Amino acid sequence: MTENKKDEITIYDVISKKKEVTRKADTKLIMKAYNLAAEKHKDQKRGSGEPYIIHPLNVAYILAEIGLDDNTIAAALLHDVVEDTDITQKDLTDMFGSEISEMVAGVTKLSTIQFATVEEKQVENYRRMFLAMGKDIRVILIKLADRLHNMRTLKYLKRDRQIANAKETLELYAPLANRLGLYAIKAELEDLGFKYMYPEKYYDLVESINKKKVGKIALKIISFVLFICIIIGGTTFHNVLSRSFKSEEKSDVAIVLGCVVNGDKPGIFLKGRINAAYKYLNENPNAIAVLSGGQGNGENISEAKCMFNCLTEMGIDKSRLLIEDKSTSTRENFKYSKEIIEKNGIKSKKITIITNDFHECRASEFAKQNGFKPLRYPSKTPWNGYMPFATREIFAIIYQIYLAR
């Protein structure tokens, strides 16, 4: 929170900030003011135990951040020397001129004012402040910066002082900063004032805000992930659709991918693939087919053997059928089919994949990974099986092709 703001400000930070905001700085004047303040405050400590000069440096830095002029920065560095050291008003006038001296005198007067209670009209407090500052609004700005840094380090004071300063800040200084259009300073003064005035409510509020922030971050992450999933899923679904159409070109080798076997009979998807293989082999009498699929749970025979039995019963010569019965996944279908093809001396890399239309996309990718040039001969998927299996296939494509490589 606000208490963690940097306290280890140096005079070079002040000058650098002044140049950054206003494009110029009277380094000689600012250094002169700093050297005097550092010398006069050298034996003084703040409630935190730190050297007192840290306070005027921070006040000057706050004013440099909002673009105040060189004389105001110098007055900020010197704002406590008359009140807390042996320097007199005349000394300041002789060394820095009346403008800076009068600003310091105005801040000193403000420090001695007894402000009205909240029950009295706030305008009375403002009247007293404006009487103290004379004609120079910069006195109020220095005082606001002074109060802001004191509030940032309020934790070092006793509880009764914390409450008194917090009350005065909420009732007087935060509203004044708001009237002057210093909204960032006003917000920080309110935040710190509320923290010390009502600590339990403050930390409850901080916890609530942090939870909301975590929730927002989580929502953003989820939204981003969903967006990526939609992009990948949409691209994948497009690929599924684009590769579900039959290739015009033919090859002399087809790989028929296995699917569920019920006992020793083909399931509904496998029936479709067997029928497509039968049709392809009849259309291409010189082609052979690798029947690929091992034996799964609940299957009495391998998927390859089931396809072999069905195709031979349908009249396909067994010499045109090669059995690959070790595979348990689409990736392995092509790995082990490649071994069968090479073992049989077939050199052509062009193969036709026979599987369900929604499966052609993923199958083609695995075929390419094994050095094949895949063509498509899809079997049509029954309407009642398309949505669940096609949807599952999209996630399988994302995982096996994009993530599991």
User: 243-403 belongs to which homologous superfamily?
Assistant: HUPs (3.40.50.620)
Predicted pLDDT at 219: 78
Cα→Cα distances 364→26, 159, 270, 298, 360, Å:
73, 74, 18, 28, 6
Predicted pLDDT at 4: 43
What is the C-alpha to C-alpha distance for residues 89 and 108, in angstroms, rounded to an integer? Answer: 10
Q: Would 2-197 and 243-403 be classified into the same CATH topology?
A: no
Predicted pLDDT at 2: 45
Phi/psi of residue 26, nearest 5 degrees:
-85, 85
Count of residues for the chain?
Answer: 405
Residue 303 a catalytic site member: no
321-324 and 350-354 beta bridge pairing: unpaired
Q: What is the largest CA-CA distance in the chain?
A: 120
- The full set of domain ranges for the chain reads 2-197, 243-403
Predicted pLDDT at 326: 94
Predicted pLDDT at 77: 97
Low-confidence stretches of the chain (pLDDT beneath 50): 1-6
Residues 111-132 pLDDT 10s? 776 665 555 555 566 656 665 5
Predicted pLDDT at 1: 43
Q: Which of 13, 26, 84, 91 is flagged as catalytic?
A: 84
Q: Which of 69, 83, 168, 190 is flagged as catalytic?
A: 83
pTM of the model: 0.54
Task: Give me the CATH code for the 2-197 domain, please.
Answer: 1.10.3210.10
Amino acid at 333: N
Residue 84 a catalytic site member: yes
Residues 163-188 pLDDT 10s? 999 998 998 889 889 988 999 999 99
